[in-house]
Structure 1
Amino acid sequence: MSSRARANGYTNSHGNKPLFSYGVISDVQYADIPDGRSFIGVPRFYRHSILILQRAVREWNNHKKLNFSVNFGDIVDGHFPKEESINAVQKVMNEFEKFNGSVYHMIGNHCLYNLPRSALITLFKMPGRAYYDFSPMPSYKFIVLDAYEPQDHPLTTEAMNILRDKNPNTEKNSPEGLVGLERRFLKFNGGCWEATDGMVGWTS
């Protein structure tokens, strides 16, 4: 616990002993395809990535004091053949289920390249929607947001028009030629949607 937290009164009877601990992983991006590169040239080791996840889960279990783990999304890669996507996601989920505790998942852009949100919500065992909260102990709550607009939402069309206007590249996830703050205008960027029953109202 940080000195700032202690100064604000967030201390416990165990001194410096953490109130809870958790594991974190992001961007597994598994795919049963040969190694390659991202659109900006970063090497990708698609099949090997599941071995990294297996190693992480073993470490989590060996730790023995982890209360839960969090997956920040992109468990499969966007280059994966779409007809095999559900099997790939399930294969990765089988590895997560070997953790001796709860795993809380988030949806990433690569997840949505492969499967619709409705299928991912079921596979990730989310509570009927991609935004939710959980509490590992009293007085502490984690809020998970869905940062991707539904494709049929009116703001999605508006966002795509802005993207086409601001980013001249054919590959809209490429910042090539963009300078400074203009480099934010990429397809995988965005904000959280607000509607009558949307997340902003839910968090309040």
Structure 2
Amino acid sequence: MSDLSAPILRFGIVADPQYADIAPNAALNRYYAGSLAKLAEAVSVFNATELDFVMTLGDVIDRDWASFGDILPVYETLRHKRLFLLGNHDFAVAPQHLGEVSARLGMPGRYYDFAIGNWRFAVLDGSDVSVFSTPSGDPRNALATERLGALQDEGAINAHTWNGSLSDAQFAWLSGVLEKAKADGEAVLVFGHYPVFPPNAHNMWDSQRIIDLLTGFACFKGYFCGHNHDGNVGEVDGRPFVTFKGMVDTRHENTFAIVEIFEDRIAIEGFGREDSRILPIRA
């Protein structure tokens, strides 16, 4: 019999440090340089407990290739496995570095998956088809312009240049991950930078097709993301969609989380501005 009081696994969450050695933007309430100290505080909390990994949900930097050299040493003080995914600001670098961002973060690719026990984690690249993440001449640029233009014509609330979408190849890959997890009896949690639900100006351009794909599989148990620094939460067909608050926001208040997965629930312990939540797992 399973012990419902004991977590199956535990991991840390950081969203949107958006570090850069620049002056604050008080109008946006963003304090870019302050993220070094905030991240160090989060690392101290993470290092004081047992975790399977720490995931950063994109926007490690705000801009400039050199910014990685300042913030990544803070991550290196983690005693846990550190994992990353790509946010829009991570591509705010000189064009010659666009193809090097995932490698700079030590990622196995722009999108990937991994498993711990019977839980599989799919890590998305929501900037795959966007107007900023690929060099001039890449065919995805034309596709991104077409997708964004169609949304702008519709007056869609998320028709912004700072959002993105999945390529058809990545969408097919995600479908394959879900199919294999279903066959292998695994539960799936998806990590992305961009929200897909609830409807919001920060959501991916192709949110609906992603929601339809994910909720079509009983093995899909939830979606965690960043990008919308205010945070958000919603539910589709009993599955939670959680947007974590941005670390870069506010002069002094921090925000990060520790997540525990149990047989019947996901518990989020929020620190600073982050909310604590109990999310039932749909059987």
Please say whether Structure 1 and Structure 2 have the same fold, judged by a TM-score greater than 0.5. yes
> Hey, what's the Cα distance between the residues in 2 that align with 1:26 and 1:45?
14
More strand by share: 2
Shift of 1:161: 4.2
* Cα deviation, residue 25, structure 1: 0.4
2:23 maps to what in 1? 34
* Deviation for aligned residue 1:35: 1.4
Aligned to 2:31: 45
Flag structure 1 segments of 5+ consecutive residues without an equivalent: 1-11, 169-177
Identity %: 25
What displacement does 1:166 show? 5.4
The amino acid across from 2:90 in the alignment is C
Decide whether the 8 Å contact of 1:90 with 1:123 is kept in 2: no
Conserved in 2, the CA contact under 8 Å of 1:24 and 1:72? yes
Counterpart contact for 1:36–1:44, Cα < 8 Å: yes
Over 4 Å off, 4+ runs? 164-168
Matched, 1:57 2:46: no
> 1:183 maps to which residue?
157
Q: Is the 8 A contact 2:54 2:82 kept in 1?
A: yes
Distance (Å, rounded) in 1 between the aligned partners of 2:119 and 2:148 = 37
CA RMSD in angstroms comes to: 2.3
Residues 1-204 of structure 1: matches in 2 within 5 Å? 13-37=2-26, 41-62=27-48, 64-78=49-63, 82=64, 85=65, 87-114=66-93, 116-127=97-108, 129-136=109-116, 138-148=117-127, 149=129, 151=134, 152-164=137-149, 167=152, 182-194=156-168, 198-203=169-174, 204=176
- Per chain length, whose mean CA-contact separation is higher, i.e. which structure has more relative contact order (CA < 8 Å, sep 6+)? 2
Provide Cα deviations, 1:162-203, integer angstroms capped at 9, x if missing partner. 5357549xxxxxxxxx96xx2110112222101xxx323333
Q: TM-score, normalised by structure 2?
A: 0.54
1:20-49 residue CA offsets vs partner (Å, 9 max, x unmatched): 110000110111111124xxx312111111
> Which has the larger Rg?
1
Q: Which amino acid aligns with 2:107?
A: M
SS in 2 for 1:44: coil
One-letter amino acid of the structure 2 residue matched with residue 141 of structure 1: R
Tell me, in whole angstroms, the C-alpha distance in 2 between the residues paired with 1:14 and 1:61: 25
